[in-house]
């Protein structure tokens, strides 16, 4: 049993730096998260995840944002462009079986990509509701405008993902589809009454099974508190009460919606009751400070499923099947969208 600090931390590049080789095993974060700066070729990523496990242990959680559509860290030419959640939702509205099949295939394909590379968790699916009047930070990352669309499609996605042993993380509890500001750049407030949210935004987080992991939204839910959900004890307690006591990981604490020093951001998040702080970016010195701020090692990692990538024949078949089902709706990842999400 390895005790770890309750934080997931970003890495500098495509291999561990000498500084990371020194402080990662010394400080023992719970896990790491990969971004496009950490990704070149499949063999390089496999070598990086193996290097991480060499220094942090075989049970280390290795996360990535791999949703499809705009948010894909694994991109062409080594990995195929995948459809957005909303394009699958549009297919579902025309033909429910075909939409469910596409969502399940997307989960299998993303799971296969990650299992093949030694990555254990994807920060997806997004189960926020699409609101055409809101800021586009969610937009086509959502499966649809209603729980009736989101719940079956996200469930099908997680079922496909589970076949490979990769764990999904629901985004962004308690729902940020209504925001009028991108939380990468500032704090957003949702004033919608609880009675409305219980019948809409909260339904997916209550109804979807297949993972107990949820990522916070950096929003103020005024019905709960005047502080961001991520750093609000009242809000985190409410999430545990309303959503069956999930495993809660923060959205990235380098986003502008969260204020304060590195140490304050980490400490306020963990003191609020979040299980794992997420700190993705910054210099080596800043990331080192973030892990130190998480306090002494005290958290045991959850057991991981055995990663089970598809065979090469199955991989080719599933990708072709999804592309055929989606037709021209498969979209290339946005190269500018490489930020915490």
User: Which residues are catalytic, by number?
Assistant: 184, 251
Element (H, E) at 277: strand 276-279
Helices (H), the chain: 18-27, 42-56, 85-94, 96-117, 147-162, 194-199, 203-207, 233-242, 262-272, 284-293, 312-326
User: Two tokens at 157?
Assistant: 């996605």
Q: Which residues, 6 or more positions from 42, have their beta carbon under 8 angstroms from its beta carbon?
A: 78, 116, 117
216 backbone φψ class: left, alpha, beta (φ>0; ψ -120 to 50): beta
For residue 74, CA distances in Å to 36, 71, 204, 277 come to 7, 9, 27, 24
Q: How far apart are CA 90 and CA 83, in angstroms?
A: 11
């Amino acid at each position: 049993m390895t005790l770890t600090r309750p934080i997931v931390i970003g890495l500098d590049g495509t291999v561990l730096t000498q500084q990371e080789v020194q402080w990662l095993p010394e400080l023992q974060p719970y896990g790491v998260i990969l971004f496009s700066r950490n990704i070149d070729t499949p063999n390089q990523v496999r070598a990086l995840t193996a290097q991480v496990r060499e220094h942090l242990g075989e049970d280390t959680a290795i996360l990535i944002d791999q949703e499809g559509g705009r948010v894909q860290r694994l991109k062409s030419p080594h990995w195929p462009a995948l459809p957005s959640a909303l394009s699958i939702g549009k297919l579902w509205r025309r033909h429910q079986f075909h939409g469910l099949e596409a969502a399940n295939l997307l989960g299998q394909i993303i799971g296969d990509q990650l299992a093949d590379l030694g990555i254990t968790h994807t920060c997806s699916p997004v189960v926020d509701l699409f609101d055409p009047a809101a800021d586009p930070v969610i937009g086509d990352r959502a499966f649809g405008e209603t729980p009736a669309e989101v719940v079956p499609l996200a469930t099908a996605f997680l079922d496909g993902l589970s076949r490979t042993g990769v764990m999904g993380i629901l985004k962004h509890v308690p729902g940020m589809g209504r925001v009028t500001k991108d939380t990468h750049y500032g704090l957003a407030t949702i004033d919608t009454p609880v009675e409305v949210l219980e019948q809409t935004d909260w339904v997916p987080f209550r109804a979807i099974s297949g993972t107990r992991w949820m990522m916070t939204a950096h929003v103020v839910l005024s019905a709960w508190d005047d502080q961001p959900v991520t750093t609000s004890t009242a809000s985190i307690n409410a999430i545990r009460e309303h959503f069956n006591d999930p495993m809660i990981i923060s959205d990235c604490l380098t986003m502008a919606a969260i204020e304060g020093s590195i140490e304050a951001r980490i400490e306020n998040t963990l003191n609020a009751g979040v299980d794992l702080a997420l700190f993705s970016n910054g210099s080596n010195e800043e990331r080192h400070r973030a892990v130190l701020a998480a306090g002494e090692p005290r958290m045991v990692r959850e057991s991981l499923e055995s990663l089970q990538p598809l065979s090469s024949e199955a991989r080719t078949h599933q990708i072709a099947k999804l592309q055929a089902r989606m037709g021209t709706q498969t979209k290339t990842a946005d190269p500018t969208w490489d930020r915490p999400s």
